[in-house]
Structure 1
């Protein structure tokens, strides 16, 4: 049976109601987290060799044997299959044909939509098929808030938005960052934007934000300093910088188009998601006032050309990126004087 998104939590709280739980999708970290959650409901001690059998790819052929084995110490057993593939369909049919109370959990990241295994289990009323895809937007914020709440930590709304915007698409990586925030805040603590930035802030991405905001309001000095800081970090490259700049330009253009259609600036900006960090709203508003929609489209074209140029073998990509930021700043100053 295919489990809807709203029913996933209830299903994982009571996995004993099912014979097989299939977890598939693109988020391997979320798949592992949900598999662990389901297994621990049946047996909290996942290291118990009498009640838990974890089968990697090289042990898939033992699946039927493990599913039909009896627990020597009593209680329901869990057979946890990792790296599940369509090739398991025949073995799964054998397990379904056998009377057993063992819970079979199958992790199958990347399983195709036309998979025979998925089709088989989606038709079975006593089997749960759960899709695990990367969360984003409000769903991701809700998950982060829930993770922190479980640790007794609260987080300010602006800090949550900033964190969610930069969170990894993999659930395991996001949870690792949440654990770091818990250690930073402590039990019962509260996290501010400054706390989150200090704890997990990526210096490269923060500097790129500074460069983008400075360039689009014509602040050549600030933009030069910020892009220099970004390029001096290990986690940034010119292609990443081009994409960050392009994202900022597109956000500006969305607001500019909404304003041209009759919306007020504040209303248009409030429709953005993630919303503009409150300490940057003034600079964002100034940039929207300076740039027209057509000019922003031209800036986007220039930035796409920058990315293509940076991908050329042997290109002076760092120099091209710094020159591009300077070009945007110069163009913003010209347009500001014309208004």
Structure 2
């Protein structure tokens, strides 16, 4: 199947080629890729039947069972007419094995999510060449962001003038899903007012790069490797240098160590931090035992 241009992707999502049974969704904007993969999953599931089963897989599943994808695509579900298998591409997704699998006909559909892929990527070339597959590049632009703003505010019955919209756009980042979340939060905040103002935006819409950096730090320090890598990819898409992310993480652990090394009441230890902990960062919600932060806690000390 011919590779699709980025401008043709929205049209494909609404009406996929009936012969297409495997789709690669890729691009630098992890949020946009995920959002479009989710939309495509819904479309293909409806095409498969009202009772279609949706399966999510990633590297953790393949680490436990290398043949898991093969099993899911080649078997029929017990209580559904067919499956839509949605896979997050990682190091354990083997392209030659995937090619052999897709060479065999299957009633189940496959959707693979990936990051930004070079033209010579084996995964991208596979989906571009297979006759019953498609490769969908996802690159957000200002028109996409404007459409998100218009749709979310219109649904809430809110208007916005051009100058205020420009300011809102400047507060949003390169991650499509994160931007949609921020606009939805703004719509909820301003609901009933009739119009969004500059003050509304300043009050509730955070700087996207700062939010992604904060999310990366908390995910990494909480042992959530998959989430941390996703946020790091979002930072890269927004133009944030990875060295800056590592520096922020180092500062975070330094402050955690300052709190963990103090004896006595946890709240008192937090109050000794300089600069003081901002209220928006929350508090350390779990006690410190044995001189260190308890495993599994997400200590929020930026």
Deviation digits for residues 289-320 of structure 1, max 9, x if unmatched? xxxxxxxxxxxxxxxxxxxxxxxxxxxxxxxx
Cα deviation for residue 91 of structure 1 reads 2.7
**1:43-71 Cα distance to aligned partner (Å, 9 max, x none):** 37xxx997111111132431121111213
Question: Highest Rg: 1 or 2?
Answer: 1
Structure 2 residue aligned with 1:125: 131
- Mapped contact 1:53–1:80 kept (Cα < 8 A): yes
TM-score computed with the length of structure 2 as normaliser? 0.58
Quote the residue 1:163 is aligned against: 168
Within 5 A, what are the aligned runs for 1:145-164?
145-150=150-155, 152-164=157-169
> How far is the alpha carbon of 1:39 from its aligned partner?
0.9
Name the SS of the counterpart of 1:53 in structure 2: strand
Judged with a 3 Å threshold, the aligned counterparts in structure 2 of structure 1 residues 137 and 42 are, in CA distance, closer, same or farther, namely closer
Secondary structure in structure 2 of the residue aligned to 1:67: helix
Could you say which structure has the higher helix fraction? 1
TM-score, normalised relative to structure 1: 0.52
Check if 1:110 corresponds to 2:116.
yes
Query: Which blocks of at least 5 consecutive residues in structure 1 are unaligned?
Result: 206-233, 235-339
1:180 paired with 2:182, answer: no
Indicate conservation of the 8 Å contact 1:145/1:160, yes or no: no
Question: Aligned residue for 1:72?
Answer: 78
Given that 1:85 and 1:111 are in contact with CA atoms closer than 8 Å, whether structure 2 keeps it comes out as no
Alpha-carbon distance in 2 for matches of 1:50, 1:76: 5
Distance in 2 (CA, whole Å) between partners of 1:16 and 1:76 is: 18
Q: CA RMSD in A?
A: 3.0
1:83-116 Cα offsets, whole Å, 9 max, x none, are 3459531232123222212110101113333111
Paired residue for 1:332? Answer: none
Q: Which moved more, 1:2-11 or 1:31-40?
A: 2-11
Aligned 1:18-57 pairs, distance under 5 A: 18-43=20-45, 51-57=53-59
1:143 aligns with 2:148: yes
Asked if the contact 2:152–2:187 (Cα under 8 Å) also holds between the matched residues in 1, the reply is no
Equivalent pair of 1:25/1:31 in contact (CA under 8 Å): yes
Note the residue ranges of structure 2 that are not aligned, 5 or more in a row.
Answer: 215-302
Instruction: Give how far 1:6 is off.
Output: 2.5
